[in-house]
């Protein structure tokens, strides 16, 4: 298993992210680039941005709607053309 889905309160995550940023600015070695906690916070932030962008674009709606908008009219046209050419 490469990914794990968890639910975290937004306030808690924001507090941890701010603390990691502050300690990184102060020069603490455990919170610098390349350290596990810093990498974890960067991954969380990137995943949240990706989820927010996907919600904003509405890809889920497009994926649910495309069969009705493309396939069905295409099939209807093929049926009509097939019946016309068959006569």
Domain positions in the chain are 10-85
Is residue 59 predicted with pLDDT exceeding 80?
no
- Element at 25 (helix H, strand E): helix 10-26
Looking at the whole model, is its pTM more than 0.75? no
Is residue 87 predicted with pLDDT exceeding 70?
no
Is residue 30 predicted with pLDDT exceeding 80?
no
- Which DSSP string do the residues of 49-87 spell out, in sequence order? HHHHHHHHHTHHHHHHHHIIIIIHHHHHHHHHHHHHHT-
In the structure, what pLDDT confidence band is assigned to residue 22 with cuts at 50, 70 and 90? confident
């Amino acid at each position: 298993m490469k990914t794990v889905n968890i639910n975290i309160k937004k306030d808690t995550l924001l507090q941890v992210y701010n603390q990691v940023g502050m300690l990184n600015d102060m020069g603490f070695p455990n919170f610098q680039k390349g350290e596990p906690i810093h990498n974890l916070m960067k991954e969380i932030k990137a995943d949240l941005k990706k989820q927010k962008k996907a919600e904003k674009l509405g890809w889920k709606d497009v994926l649910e709607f495309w069969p009705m908008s493309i396939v069905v009219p295409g099939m209807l046209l093929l049926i009509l053309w097939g019946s016309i050419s068959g006569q």
